[in-house]
């Protein structure tokens, strides 16, 4: 059973770099990766907030949020 990995971003340059490097570096044998563009899918902002995401880019492994560098705060995407 793979662990769910969710990568939240907003298309910003910092986000793209984190996606292409950190998110794509995950072991796909152990993690099932979903990429979520919060700018295009604002209906998922609440879910991201509930998981503890405060800014993007952020990687949520299981239910633990990890903020990677800083692109934009979630408040700016609302």
* Residues in touch with a copy of itself (CB under 8 A): 3, 5, 17-18, 21-22, 25-31, 59, 61-62, 64, 66-69
CB of 31 to a copy of itself, least distance (A): 6
The pair of structure tokens assigned to 72 is 């934009």
For a copy of itself, which is the closer residue by CB, 42 or 70? Answer: 70
- Using CA atoms, how far apart are residues 25 and 77, in angstroms rounded to an integer? 26
Tell me the CA distances in angstroms from 75 to 16, 54, 68, one per residue in order: 19, 8, 17
For a copy of itself, which is the closer residue by CB, 36 or 65? Answer: 65
CB of 24 to a copy of itself, least distance (A): 9
CB of 43 to a copy of itself, least distance (A): 26
Radius of gyration of the chain (CA): 11
């Amino acid at each position: 059973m793979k662990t769910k990995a969710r990568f939240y971003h907003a298309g910003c340059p910092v986000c793209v770099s984190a996606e292409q490097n950190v998110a794509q570096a995950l072991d796909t044998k152990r993690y099932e990766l979903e990429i979520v563009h919060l700018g295009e899918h604002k209906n998922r902002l609440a879910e991201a907030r509930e998981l503890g995401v405060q800014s993007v880019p952020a990687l949520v492994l299981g239910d633990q949020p990890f903020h990677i560098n800083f692109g934009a705060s979630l408040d700016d995407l609302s």
